[in-house]
Chains A and B, each alone.
Chain A
């Protein structure tokens, strides 16, 4: 059984650019959610995908978008990067959308200069 994997581990972008982060769910999981964790803060919910459709969203602007693929892997896209987007982005998968138990990846550290 493979765990949740995220790529890349680190990324440096400049303000205004676009970025795509990737996540492979744990085997057997059909739900993936994304969280943003700023330094010194707890993870903040961005959105959740269940069977390729978004079924929950936190308080993030539309320039944060995502996709889930038939194999349940996922992407997080952020357009028009701002300095405040610098954070650790965590992907978590779960067995179903009730997501009682989340399995987290190690995260992608994004720095926006």
Chain B
């Protein structure tokens, strides 16, 4: 069975501080990992995916197969980063398996 764990329900950091949202997964094969974000009063949207190895809005995430992790990082947090972040995994042909999410609050 595949599983995604986001250990922090809530993460609060000050503006300008580094941010790291943790994500660990359990899957026997080669997974595809994603980060989705939901800003206040907006719909869930894709932030980034590991296969693209891109940086979106200053965020990056590296897939670490040894530690089965896909942590989301940003060196300097901005107030507009406040949102709900979901890590998701796709293994095989089925849909995405989401974690429970981390609510990120950036304090001024």
| Complex CA–CA separation, A42 to B86 (angstroms) | 7
Pairwise interchain contact A43-B51, C-beta atoms closer than 8 A: no
Number of interface residues, chain A, beta carbon within 8 A: 29
Interface window among B12-20, B38-46, B68-76: B38-46
Binding site for B on A (CB under 8 A): 3-4, 33, 35, 40-48, 55-58, 90, 92, 97, 99-107
Q: Inter-chain contact count A-B, CB under 8 Å? A: 57
Pairwise interchain contact B86-A45, C-beta atoms closer than 8 A: no
A–B complex contacts, Cβ < 8 Å, 29 sampled: A4-B43, A35-B95, A35-B96, A35-B98, A41-B100, A41-B101, A42-B88, A42-B100, A42-B101, A43-B44, A43-B98, A45-B94, A45-B95, A45-B97, A48-B94, A48-B95, A55-B93, A56-B94, A56-B95, A58-B95, A90-B44, A92-B44, A97-B93, A100-B49, A101-B46, A102-B36, A103-B45, A104-B43, A107-B43
Given contact pairs A41-B100, A48-B95, a sample of 15 additional A-B residue pairs in the complex whose CB atoms are under 8 Å apart = A4-B43, A43-B44, A44-B98, A45-B97, A55-B93, A56-B93, A56-B94, A58-B94, A58-B95, A92-B44, A99-B96, A100-B49, A100-B51, A101-B49, A102-B96
| Complex CA–CA separation, A92 to B98 (angstroms) | 14
